[in-house]
Chains A and B, each alone.
Chain A
Amino acid sequence: MKLPVLLLAAIAIASFAGPPLAAALDIDPQAVELLDRLAGPSVSHPLGTDELGRDVLFRLLKGGRVSLSIGIAAAIAAAALGTAIGLAAGYLGGWTDRALMRATDALIALPLLPLLIVLAAIDLDKLGLPARLIQSDDVSLVRILALTVLVGWTTSARLVRGATLITRNRDFVRAARSLGAGTPHILWLHILPNVLGPLIVAATLSVADVILLESVLSFLGLGIQPPLASWGSMLSNAQELIATAPMLAVYPGLMIFLTVIACNLFGDALQQRLDPRQRRS
């Protein structure tokens, strides 16, 4: 349990400490330095510079702030939403199940691409969002987050529902029901712990999915705005430089890899702690 938490914490702290550290060291991670493009590692730039002469290390850290927040927030939110829906559908059955699952089907069938473009074109002041948010750099971040949560809950919903269907008719649940336990009590204490397995895998895998989705979005022109960096957009930009400066793709990829390890191991450990039945062998 300790290792993944430490790792995750290390990445998070480094990312969030990045900007203040940069300010303290008087480095501007967004400063374009045309004469210093694609430089190799040096004392002033430990990981070299990118295609516009910006320091890779600080962009990586700053990008971490973006990717981690979107990735983890989206994963947790989508998992929570999916769990709620899956539990309701699996436990309550009948019309609730049918309605919720048809809604899930519809969302799975909905093509993401035109939805993204339509959302990209929506005039945000008409939605009533405050002007400061619209003009700030973070608005594209919020948009991506909203989108991933909106369409990302379907997998966990299906998984949780499947597990709930099995658990619902187990003896101890029937016993609890006959003893008069209320539905929320049963869901929280009896069903939920038993459906955690696949849910946690789904949630931890979705962290990587979201970060990489952001990279595909940049590929298509729908990601975060430059000069904001995220690991996904750094990957996408490094694509054409793969032969000239391969490390530019390796660094964000490595960070994603480390984050994935941390999240997944954390999830494994969490499952072991919370699962009433699993033994350490």
Chain B
Amino acid sequence: MMRFTAIRLVEIAAMLVLMSFVIYALIGLMPGDPIDLMRSADPRMSAVDVARLKLAYGLDRPLLERYLAWAREALAGDLGYSRLFAEPVAAALLPRLGNSLALMGSSFVIAFAVALGLGTVAARRPQSRLDTAINLFCFAGVSVPTFWLALVLILVFAAGLGWLPASGIAAAGTSDIGDRLRHLVLPVATLSLASAGGYTRYVRAAMREALGQDHIRTARAKGASEARVVFHHALRPALVPVTTILALSFGGLVSGALVTETMFAYPGMGKLIFDAVMGNDYNLALSALLLAAATAMLANLAADLAYGWLDPRVVYR
């Protein structure tokens, strides 16, 4: 297993290098440089200005050259300067990363907790009214668009009842944790409600399958308590698909949730990546995207390792 992990880590590193070039090229291929676009918004800018600015920002050099320069500096530990935020990449990235970890982490935990609970309950009583109700909840969660849900929550709880703030991470001029928590409530609620439905469906399907297996019948016949049957015998193999989904969602911790962040004006990684990509801020976009990619790949590695632990029948060749 150590060898397996070591090889995978090397592969991940190689993938990151490859992805860095692909992403750089992809951003470079997007038509319309923001400096060109500045001109359409500012009638006083002229062609001379555009040429001069491109030179000042080093954008006149060919893509490959710029990429190699970036790569050289990045490997030496210098992530560069973010043109969009007018500060070093790390200074722009870290606070947003923190915000996203808080938002995505809480939503993640809540959604999965709900999913494990509801999914197991539904799997144990298939075709019952409870099962139908839980299913309807899931379908509702999956069908509702995030921006709509966010808007409804804002209109009800912020504009209507006035219980919670409508946007932002904090009130101006204060920085206490209670205030920040208040600002987290609605965005976390939006994300949890939206994602719990899908996760529940996976847990339900996986638990149903697991509960239908032979060794469950055996355990029940042997007189094991229902709790032991569910938690000890059924849960572990059922967790394999759930782990897969968990790992696939893990990357979201870093890549954030663009729509939710926009609706709540919550400065997180989703918005950062979007703005950096749209603004052709190569340094920032690359650091953020590679971080997200690394997280996703490490999560998948963890999932692969977990399969072996969860179900002893799994063997890697």
Contacts and interface: CB of A to CB of B under 8 A. Distances in A.
A and B touch in the complex (CB under 8 A): yes
Contacts of B243: 162
A253 B148 contact: yes
Nearest to A250: B148
Interface string B52-68: 00000000000000000
A205 interface: yes
A219 B11 contact: no
Interface residues of A, number: 59
Given A121-B30, A163-B241, A219 B206 contact: no
Nearest to A116: B30
A216 B259 contact: yes
B248 A198 contact: no
A114 B140 contact: no
B6 interface: no
A109 to B, nearest CB: 3
Q: Which of B31, B143, B144 has the most chain A CB atoms closer than 10 A to its own CB?
A: B143
Interface in A174-210: 197-198, 200-201, 205, 208-209
A119 to B, nearest CB: 10
A264 interface: yes
A198 B145 contact: no
A212 interface: yes
Interface residues of B, number: 66
A170 B145 contact: no
B135 A264 contact: yes
B118 to A, nearest CB: 14
A9 interface: no
A81 B152 CA distance: 37
Nearest to B273: A111
A253 B248 contact: no
B119 to A, nearest CB: 11
A105 B298 CA distance: 10
Given A108-B251, A256-B143, A163 B240 contact: yes
A170 to B, nearest CB: 6
B212 A277 contact: yes
B317 to A, nearest CB: 4
Interface in B156-213: 198, 201-202, 205-206, 208-209, 212-213
Contact of A114 (B126, B277, B293): B277
A235 B251 contact: no
A165 B314 contact: yes
Contact of B274 (A113, A163, A264): A113
A279 interface: yes
Q: Which of B241, B245, B278 has the most chain A CB atoms closer than 10 A to its own CB?
A: B241
Interface in B303-317: 303, 307, 311, 313-317
A239 B144 CA distance: 13
Contacts of A249: 148
Interface string A269-281: 0010001011111
27 contacts: A93-B317, A105-B293, A106-B15, A106-B18, A113-B277, A114-B277, A117-B30, A118-B31, A158-B244, A158-B248, A162-B243, A162-B244, A163-B240, A169-B313, A197-B205, A197-B208, A197-B241, A198-B202, A201-B201, A219-B147, A242-B152, A253-B148, A257-B139, A257-B143, A261-B136, A278-B212, A281-B127
A-B pairs with lowest CB-CB distance, top 3: A109-B293, A93-B317, A198-B241
Interface of A: 93-94, 97-98, 101-102, 105-106, 108-111, 113-115, 117-118, 121, 154-155, 158-159, 162-163, 165-166, 169-170, 197-198, 200-201, 205, 208-209, 212, 215-216, 219, 235, 239, 242-243, 249, 253, 256-257, 259-261, 264-265, 271, 275, 277-281
